[in-house]
Amino acid sequence: MTSLRPIELTCPECATSFSACIYASIDTWMDPNLIERILREELGVMCPGCGGVLHVDYELLLSCRRGTIRISTSDPVEVNRKKLLEKGVIDGDGNVVDWIRSSAMHKE
């Protein structure tokens, strides 16, 4: 199941304290768009005070057909891309493979 974890953050730019939700685990076949966000490094949290995006270091578990992938947002995107490629979640061009897209569409 895709699940979220609440965290408390303080923005280094404007010192606003706020709570946000980060992903604790993701089902690849439910959320193909999230895989693209991982690859584009768009898992940051937006500050409600200044609108800046805060990078948060955390780990999330990604479930796919061939097992579970542990993704860390502090790893370089190349490392995470390699993990996704090894498990067949993305192809060599970095695109989310078709079966994930089609099963996500089928669900709706």
In the bound state with Zn ion, the residue whose beta carbon lies nearer, of 42 and 91, is 42
- Closest to Zn ion by CB, 13 or 41: 13
Task: Name the site residues for Zn ion (rule: CB under 5 A).
Answer: 11, 13-14, 16, 47, 49-50, 52
Q: How far is the CB of 55 from Zn ion (least distance, A)?
A: 13
Report the residue number, 13 or 42, with the smaller CB distance to Zn ion: 13
Is the Cβ–Cβ distance between 3 and 24 less than 8 Å? yes
Which one-letter amino acid corresponds to residue 54? L
CB of 24 to Zn ion, least distance (A): 24
Residue 53: Cβ within 10 Å count? 11
How near is the Cβ of 48 to Zn ion at its closest, in Å?
Answer: 8
Q: Which residues neighbour 20 within 8 Å (Cβ) at sequence distance 6 or greater?
A: 6, 7, 9, 45, 56
Q: If you ran DSSP here, which 8-state letter would residue 97 be given?
A: P
